Amino acid sequence: MFQSSPLLQSLLVPAATMVVVAVLGRKLGRYAGLISGAALTYTSLLLLMVGFKVLREGSVYEEYVWAEFLGLRWGLLADGLSLPTALIMNLICAACAVYSVGYMKHRIEMEWGEGRKGLHTLYHVLYLLFPIGLVGVSLSTNLIQLYFFFELTLIPSALMISLFGYIERERVAMMYFIWNQVGASLFLLGSILAFLETGSFDIAQVPRLLGSPTAFWVVFFILVGMLIKMAAFGVHVWLPWAHGEHPTSIAAIIATIVGLGSYIVSRVLIQQLYEVFTLFSVPLIFLALITMVYGGLLTLAQDDVKRLYACSTISQTAYTLLGLAYATPLSIMGGVFYFLSHCIGKCILFSVAGILLAQTELRDMKAMGGLAGRMPLTLTLCLIGSLILSAVPPFSGFPAELVMFIGIFAGSQVDLLRFIIALAAIAATILTVAYTFWPIKRIFFGPLPESLKHVGEAPASMTMPLLALSLISLLLGVYPKAIMDFLTAWISSMGI
């Protein structure tokens, strides 16, 4: 079974699981999340097996027919860029599926009371659209297929905010939908321009644009669309609301969707139109630095723990944008590595915020304190997530940021302006340390409020998946070769 169309299986297994959950959901209730988690663990193993083949052969490709009479075909490609991206995203979805068992029990009971098994069914059916969309984007080989899977992630995101979110959830869901639809529409516009010039939507045919004036506008429209998706400064206003008010069980996945913009820039623009992309390097470098600093300061101003980790996504995504903008082989590889590491770290931290909300029914850090003795495992997870984002050894953030900044300074040797911005970006990393470790002091140390003396540790369904992700980050931190071999092979194939 592992050998039979593994890339297609990675999409079809979650789709089939949706049917199983829809049929059995009312009997299973919240435990439908365990079925989703098992299915996604299986597809993660599939992708891991594919990864070994990619290391041996360079890539794995599968092609299927949409409509033979129209000549419509679609392909799935696993290579040094798409395979690690798909695998990390799928693992995050698997972890969050199990985490949802405990979190959604609290959320649904708090809003609607007990015995609402139908709501659990609806949640888990919608949830399985996430891994299909995320893995589909990673493996897509043509622009329309990529657009379809990207839009597929928007459907459950907006619906879940509207159905299971918190403050002004309908308004926030509409804001999220409109902003992300604008970004996707600009991507589609760039894709159509590429088609009109080349006669193909295949990503591999995009380099045929080189030498044509159309290439500039294709890069421009796709890049602006992805900057909206990445919540860069100036088009970031939707993210604190959407990230702060959705159900926390999908918070990490929405952060991953934000990061998908980095993947599409890498796959479509840098890999296919590198010479044109570099024309935008200097303004992107400035934008990345501004976003890093602004996002960091905005994060430090928060008292709401969910809103704090939401705002930090603005700053963290800008790190990857900086690496991609410098456009050296190491800065690109480090930027992609950092994006994947950030997805893991942010999953842990957002999930910790959900644990705090479920156990204390509080979001305001001013009302917390002294929880270290009551929730030692949650404290440990919060420390690990903070170490990942702050790039402290031995977790994955350290080698990712190290490789990225080596590449950034390598690209600054003959340009004083780029060198100054690189130094400023290094200094801006202090903000990350501040906004990740300062909340730990506020939440877990100091006097314990009388109202929180009854608080206990979260159930294993909420903590064990996060420990599993922590171990993956530790592995990548201690042995970064596990991911750098993939990225090195990919960047080498570009001939930069």
pLDDT (mean) for 297-323: 91
Lowest pLDDT segment from 293-297, 309-313, 340-344: 309-313
How far is residue 100 from each of residues 107, 348, 351, 469, measured CA to CA in Å? 10, 13, 10, 15
- For the cut 90, the answer to whether the pLDDT of residue 25 exceeds it is no
Within 10 Å of residue 393's Cβ, how many Cβ atoms?
12
Structure tokens given for 400: 């990712």
Over the stretch 378-394, which tens digit does the pLDDT of each residue have?
999 999 999 999 999 99
pTM over 0.85: yes
Supply the pLDDT for residue 2.
52
Contact 95/88 with Cβ under 8 angstroms? no
Single out the residue of 458, 35, 395 nearest to residue 248, CA to CA: 458
Distance CA 413, CA 411 (A): 6
Q: Which residues pair with 140 in a beta bridge?
A: 76
Q: Which residue has the tokens 């060198």?
A: 419
Over the stretch 221-260, which tens digit does the pLDDT of each residue have?
999 999 999 989 988 888 888 877 788 888 888 888 888 8
